[in-house]
Structure 1
Amino acid sequence: MSTLIAAENVGHSYHNEWLFKNLTVGIQSGERVALVGINGAGKSTLLKLLAGKFEPLEGKIVKNKDTRIGILDQDPKFEEGSTISDFIFSMDNMKQQLIREYEELIESEHPDETKLGNLYTALTENDAWEYEHQIKTILSRMGIEHLQQKISTLSGGQKKRLALAKLLIEDPDMYILDEPTNHLDIDTIEWLEKLLTTGNKTILLVTHDRYFLDNVCNQIIELDKGKVFNYKGNYAYYLEKKAEREAIDDAVFQKNKNLLKKELEWMRRMPAARTTKSKSRIDAFYDLEDKTKQRSDNQKVTLNVKMSRQGSKILELNGVSKSFEGKNILNNFSYTFKKGDRIGLAGKNGTGKSTLLNIITNNLAPDSGTVDIGETTVYGYYKQGGLNFDPKERVIDVVKSQAEFIQMADGQTISASALLTLFLFPPKKQHGLVERLSGGEKKRLQLMRVLMQNPNFLILDEPTNDLDIDTLNVLEDFLENFGGVLILVSHDRYLLDKMSDQLFILEGNGKVNIFNGNYSEYRNELLEEEKAGQKSDTRVKNTTQKLTYAEKKELEEIEESINKIGLENEKITAEISNPPAELEKLNELINSLELGKKKLQELEERWIFLLEKQEN
C-alpha cells in the first residue's frame, strides 16, 4: 500500500490555543480510518488540513500529486445564487455535462425534441447511460429531485446531503468525511455503508455512529490531548486497547503524583542549589511537576440532574390528524403515554417525525383530535436545530440566564459554574465566548440547558449529531437510569437499540406503525418476512411441472426472437448515430429503439424463467 497523504510534525491553534503540535499521521491506499476524540480535540481541523482547506501553522502536509481528495465538511458552503445542477455537475466533465443537459431538458415543461434526440445520440456514443443511472440513484437516495432549485432555499440537512451526493458522484481517490451520517435516515445510512465498503476505497472519517464506524472502518486513530494513537481494528478492539493504555497511564500518573509529593516536601526545606547533585534534583522536580500538570485525572461529563415528580396522567393523544398542503402527515393517531415509556421514533426523512414531536409538546395544533397533557408533565426538548446562542455571549451567562443554581438528583444544589464544570467546561471556557466553542461543545451546552429544566418527559431529536462518543456514552448511562418518559429520534442504530423498547414507525401517508421491540429486532423481523416470501416463491417453482411440449417450442422461438430483435436494435442505434434530417423520422427511430429494448427485456425474462423451469 502507498501513502496517499500525511501530516508531518503538524501544529495548529484555534483562538490562540494549540489544538496539537508535532503531530504526525499518514493514510495509506485502501485504509478506511475513523478519527475519534472528544469535542474540541481538533478532529475537524485535522480533516481540513489534510484536505488542503488551509495550511498548518507548523509542519507540513504531504500528498501524492496524483491523488484526488474529496471532503465532506460538517457545514458545507456553496456559491451564492447557484442551483443544485450548477453544484452537482462539473464543467470539466463531458459526460456529466451531457447528463445535466439531458436531465434539465426532460424536466422542462416543453422539451425541444431535436435537442433531446441529439443528446440521446451523444449519451449513447459516449457510453454514459450507466453513469447517468448511477447519478440518478445517488441523487434519489439523498432526496434530491429538482435540479433547477436554488441551493439557498434548502435546509441545513438538505445542503449536507447535497454535498455528500456530489462527493459520491465524483468518487475521489480519498474520501474525507466529517459526520457523514448526520441528516440521513437509517435506510440511506445502510445503503451508504455498502457503497463505501465496495471496492478498494480510501476513507478518513469522523463519526459518532458506532454501528457505521464498525461496519465501514478497519482502523481507528484517536486524537487525545494533541497526540495521536493508532489502532488497527474495529471500534470494539479500539475500546479494549484504549482501556489498557489508560490503565498504564493512570499507574504512571499515580506514581508521579506520589513522587511529586515527596519531592515537594524536600523542596519546601529550601535546599541550596550549591552542588551539582542538589541542582539536578531541583531540575528533576520541575520536570516532574510539568508532566503531572499536563495530565489531570480523567474527567467525564456528569449527568445526574433531578427529575420532576410525575403524576399518573402524562399525555394522551386521541385521534390526532395533521396534513400540510394536501399531504397527509398523521391520520387518526392515538396513544396514551405510560410511566417508563422508552420510544424510538423511526421513519424516512419527510414522513412527519418533527410534526409529531411538535404536536406532542403543544408547539403545533393538530387539524383534528385532542392532545391532553398531564398537570405534572415537564418537557425537556433537545431539538435537532439547536439553541440560538448569541455568539458574543459568555458561556457562563448562557447558563445563568436560565438559573443561577441547579438541583441535582441527590438533592444537592450547585451553582451554574459548578454544573458547567461537570459538563467539562473549565473556568477558562466558561468565561470565554460561545463563538469559540466547537460544534460538539455547543451541542453539549445545549444538552445541559435542556437537562437543567429537570424534565420528566424527555425528547431527544438527533442528540448524537456532533457529540463525541465519550459524551454519548455518558448520555446513555444517564438515560438508562432516567425514570421518566423518553422519546428518541435518531439515525444512530446503536442508540436506538440500547435506549428504546418500543418504536413508532412513521411509514408515510399518515400511518404510524407501533412495534414492540428495538430497531434491530424490527429489522430482523422484516428480514424474516422477506426470507419467508422468498421461500414461498421457491416452493412454487419447485412444485412446477417440467416444460410442456408447447413451452419447449416457445423456448426455441424465444431464442430466435431475441437474436432477431437484438440485430434490429443494433441497426436502429447505427441509424440514430447518423441522424436523418427529418425530425419526425428521428423520433420514430428513437421510439422504435425504446420499444425494441422493452420487448427484448420481456423476452429475456421469459427465456430465463423457462430455462430455470427446465433445470428443476
Structure 2
Amino acid sequence: MSIISAEQLGHAYNDQWLFKNLTFGIQQGQRVALVGVNGAGKSTLLKLLAERFKPTEGKVVKAKDIKFGYLEQDPQFDGAATISDFIFSLNNRQQQVIREYEELLEQDNPDIDLVNKLTEEISSLDAWEYEHNIKTILGRLGISNLHQNISTLSGGQKKRLSLAKLLIDEPDVYVLDEPTNHLDIDTIEWLEKFLTTGGKTILMVTHDRYFLDNICNEIIELDNGNVFTYKGKYAYYLEKKAEKDAIDEATLAKNKNLLKKELEWMRRMPQARATKSKARKDAFYELEDKTKGKNKKETIALDVKVSRQGNKILEVEHISKTFNEQEIIKDFSYTFKKGDKIGLTGKNGTGKSTFLNIITGELNPDSGKVEKGETTVFGYYHQSGLSFNESERVIDVVKNIAEYITLADGSTISASQLLTLFLFPPKKQHGFVSLLSGGEKKRLHLMKVLIKNPNFLILDEPTNDLDIDTLNVLEEFLEKFPGVLVLVSHDRYLVDKLTDQLFILEGNGSIKIFNGNYSFYRAEQEEIKILEKEEQKRKEKQIAAPTPITDKKNKISYKEKIELDNLNNEIPAIEEKIKRLEQELNNQADLEKINEIIKVLEDTKKKLEEKSNRWLELSELI
C-alpha cells in the first residue's frame, strides 16, 4: 500500500500546463529519484507531494499521521532568529531538553543542580543517543555556533542548516530537492550512508549521478508532462531509457512515413468519395497528432572555438597564502602543461576558491609568484560570477559580448542561433533575465564564459541546478576540450570522468598532487586505512603477547610440520591474488565494481595476515 500517492495530478503556471493526469504511488521503504530536463516540473511536483501548495487539478493522498521532511532549493526559516531556534523544535521535548543541557554546559559556571536535573530528564526520555546523533549531524554539516544569527549565513550554509534540521527531525518521508548542493565529497559520502540505513522512505531530485545510483532503487522520469517508472537503480534506468528511446524513434519514423502516404492519398482523393472515407480521414488526423511535436530532442552543441595556446601556459612558483593567521596555501609550485585535466578537491573551507583566485590573478599570494603565458585565455565559471541585470533581455546578455560567435570549425553563427543551440528558444531570448529559472541562469552564465574562446577553463561547481541531460552534453564538450581544465565539483561522477590528476587541499596549507581520478584516490585511501588498522593490531598483539612457551613446548609436531608446508604454498598464492586485485582496481572505472573489489581485497589481506601470523608461530617452533 502506498503511503503517498498522486491521483490525476495536474498543475499549470500562467495557463501553461507543466503536467496533467499524473497517477503514481510511493510505498514505505522505497527510495525514489525524480528525473527530467530543466523546466519539466520536478521541483513543482516535489512541492505538491510535500503539500506545500495545492495542485491545479487532481489530489495528493497520504497515509494517516505521515510526517514529511522537505528540503527545498532555497530554504525558508519561518522567522527563526538563530541556528538554535531553528534546529530545536518547541513541540519536541527531547530536542528542547537537549538544547537546555547543551546551552547550560556552555556557561562558565553552570548550575550543578540544574545539570543533574536535565541529565536525569534526558535519561528518562532515553535521549542520550538522540543527543549524540544531533551532535554528529551538526558536526558533519559544519554547524558549530548554535547562537549564530541565520541572517548572517551564506546560501550554502543555509542549505546545510535546512538539511541538518530535516535529518534531526527523522521524518517518515524525506523529500529532498538537490540535497548535495554546497556539500563537499566527504559529507556527501556520509549522507549516502545515513540515508540508506534504517529503511527510510525517500523522494528526491538530484543531478549527482553517483549519489542517485548509490541511494535510489526506483526512478520516476517526468517527460513531456507524463511519468514513466523504472524499478531499479539509475544505471538500470539509463539502459531501459535507451531501449525506450530507440523504440520511440523507430515508431516515430514509421508514423511519419505512413503520414506521408496518407497525406498523398488525401490530396488525390476525389471530392465525391469524401463521405465514404471518413474513417480513414479521422485516422489521418489522429496519426498527425501523434507525430506533431515529437521530433528528436534538441541537444546543446558546445563546439565554440578555443584560442591558440603557446608553450608557456601558467607557472606557479612557491606560492603561500594566509587568512586570519590560518595557512591556506603553503609553498606550492606547479607548471601547467597542455592537456592538463585537474580536479581540485578538499573539504569546504580548505581554500579551493582562494587557490583559483590566485592563479587567475584576482588575488595576490603573500609570497611566491604566478606567471601567465602570453596566449593563455582564462574562462572562469564560478558561483559569485552569476550576476545579471535582471531587467535585461536574454539575447542582449550575449550580444553585449559578441554579435557573432566563431565555432570550432571556423564558421560563425549569430547570438540568437547560439542561444537556440543552448535551448533558449526565441520567446525566451526576448524575455527578461528575471524570468529565467536558476538552472537557465547557470546555463546562460556558462555560455558567457565559453563564447570568449578560453584555452584555460576553470569550472567552480558547474553542476549545481543543471539537469542531467545538460550535464551529459557539457561532459562531452569537456572531454574533447583541447585546453587546460581545472574542475572543482562535489559531483564524483563528473570528476572521475573528466580529470586524470587531483590537487587535494588537505586543510593545513598543504596541496597534495595525486595522479589519477577520484575513485582511484578513494581506493588508495581505503587501502591505507586497512594497512593502518593491520599495523595497529600487530602492535596490540605485541603488547599483549603471552610469556614465551617452554622448550618442551617448542618442539613441532608432524601435523604442524604439514601445516607449515601448506602455508609455504598458500601464502604466495594469496599474495599473487592481492596483486591481481590491485591491478584490476587500477583499471576499473565503475564505482560499484570498485567497491566490490575493495571488499574482496580487504578480506584477502585479512586472510593473508592470519596465514602469515600462523606461519610465524610454526616457524618459531622449529
Q: What is the TM-score with the length of structure 2 in the denominator?
A: 0.85
* SS of residue matched to 2:383: coil
Alignment of 1:386-535 (within 5 A): 386-535=385-534
Q: Find out whether 1:3 has 2:2 as its counterpart.
A: yes
* Cα distance in 2 between the residues matched to 1:436 and 1:9: 29
- Alpha-carbon distance, 1:163 to partner: 0.5
* Cα distance in 2 between the residues matched to 1:232 and 1:112: 57
Aligned counterpart, 1:218? 217
Q: Find out whether 1:350 has 2:349 as its counterpart.
A: yes
Aligned counterpart, 2:599? none
Aligned counterpart, 1:142? 141
- Alpha-carbon distance, 1:377 to partner: 1.0
CA contact (8 A) 2:220 2:229 kept: yes
* Cα distance in 2 between the residues matched to 1:337 and 1:284: 64
- Alpha-carbon distance, 1:128 to partner: 1.8
Alignment of 1:319-334 (within 5 A): 319-334=318-333
CA contact (8 A) 1:306 1:409 kept: yes
Structure 1, residues 146-177: CA drift from partner, whole Å, max 9, x if none?
11101110111000000000000011111010
**Alignment gaps of 5+ in structure 2:** 549-616, 618-622
* SS of residue matched to 1:294: coil
Aligned counterpart, 1:243? 242
* Cα distance in 1 between the residues matched to 2:270 and 2:210: 58
* Cα distance in 1 between the residues matched to 2:14 and 2:450: 29
CA contact (8 A) 2:186 2:347 kept: yes
* SS of residue matched to 1:130: helix
1:239 alignment partner AA: L
Q: Find out whether 1:311 has 2:310 as its counterpart.
A: yes
CA contact (8 A) 1:10 1:22 kept: yes
* Cα distance in 1 between the residues matched to 2:344 and 2:170: 33
1:435 alignment partner AA: S
Q: Comparing 249-258 with 10-19, which one deviates more in the overlay?
A: 10-19
Q: Comparing 28-37 with 311-320, which one deviates more in the overlay?
A: 311-320
* Cα distance in 2 between the residues matched to 1:351 and 1:143: 13
* SS of residue matched to 1:332: strand
- Alpha-carbon distance, 1:125 to partner: 3.0
Q: Find out whether 1:257 has 2:256 as its counterpart.
A: yes
* Cα distance in 2 between the residues matched to 1:5 and 1:173: 11
- Alpha-carbon distance, 1:464 to partner: 1.2
Aligned counterpart, 2:370? 371
* SS of residue matched to 1:464: coil
CA contact (8 A) 2:80 2:86 kept: no
Aligned counterpart, 1:38? 37
1:11 alignment partner AA: G
The 1:273–1:310 alpha-carbon spacing in structure 2 relative to 1, beyond 3 Å, is farther
Structure 1, residues 246-293: CA drift from partner, whole Å, max 9, x if none?
111101111121222233334445864864333333333332222222
CA contact (8 A) 1:20 1:225 kept: yes
* Cα distance in 1 between the residues matched to 2:15 and 2:453: 37
The 1:513–1:183 alpha-carbon spacing in structure 2 relative to 1, beyond 3 Å, is same
* Cα distance in 2 between the residues matched to 1:155 and 1:18: 34
The 1:515–1:280 alpha-carbon spacing in structure 2 relative to 1, beyond 3 Å, is same
* Cα distance in 1 between the residues matched to 2:506 and 2:125: 40
* SS of residue matched to 2:282: helix
Tell me how large the CA RMSD over aligned residues is: 1.9
The 1:279–1:349 alpha-carbon spacing in structure 2 relative to 1, beyond 3 Å, is same
Structure 1, residues 86-114: CA drift from partner, whole Å, max 9, x if none?
11000000010011112222234554444
Aligned counterpart, 1:71? 70
1:493 alignment partner AA: R
CA contact (8 A) 1:272 1:278 kept: no
Aligned counterpart, 2:582? none
Aligned counterpart, 2:117? 118
The 1:390–1:10 alpha-carbon spacing in structure 2 relative to 1, beyond 3 Å, is farther
Aligned counterpart, 1:156? 155
* Cα distance in 2 between the residues matched to 1:492 and 1:274: 64
- Alpha-carbon distance, 1:365 to partner: 1.4
1:286 alignment partner AA: Y
Alignment of 1:554-593 (within 5 A): none
Q: Comparing 294-303 with 490-499, which one deviates more in the overlay?
A: 294-303
* Cα distance in 2 between the residues matched to 1:364 and 1:25: 52
Q: Comparing 435-444 with 474-483, which one deviates more in the overlay?
A: 435-444
* SS of residue matched to 1:188: helix
The 1:317–1:273 alpha-carbon spacing in structure 2 relative to 1, beyond 3 Å, is farther
* Cα distance in 2 between the residues matched to 1:145 and 1:12: 41
Q: Find out whether 1:203 has 2:202 as its counterpart.
A: yes
CA contact (8 A) 2:30 2:218 kept: yes
CA contact (8 A) 1:186 1:493 kept: yes
The 1:110–1:407 alpha-carbon spacing in structure 2 relative to 1, beyond 3 Å, is farther
The 1:192–1:271 alpha-carbon spacing in structure 2 relative to 1, beyond 3 Å, is farther
The 1:126–1:288 alpha-carbon spacing in structure 2 relative to 1, beyond 3 Å, is same
CA contact (8 A) 1:104 1:147 kept: no
- Alpha-carbon distance, 1:348 to partner: 0.4
- Alpha-carbon distance, 1:543 to partner: 5.4
* Cα distance in 2 between the residues matched to 1:369 and 1:400: 39
The 1:467–1:271 alpha-carbon spacing in structure 2 relative to 1, beyond 3 Å, is farther
2:456 alignment partner AA: F
Aligned counterpart, 1:589? none
1:289 alignment partner AA: E
Identity %: 69
Count of residues paired in the alignment: 549
* SS of residue matched to 2:301: coil
* Cα distance in 2 between the residues matched to 1:47 and 1:235: 19
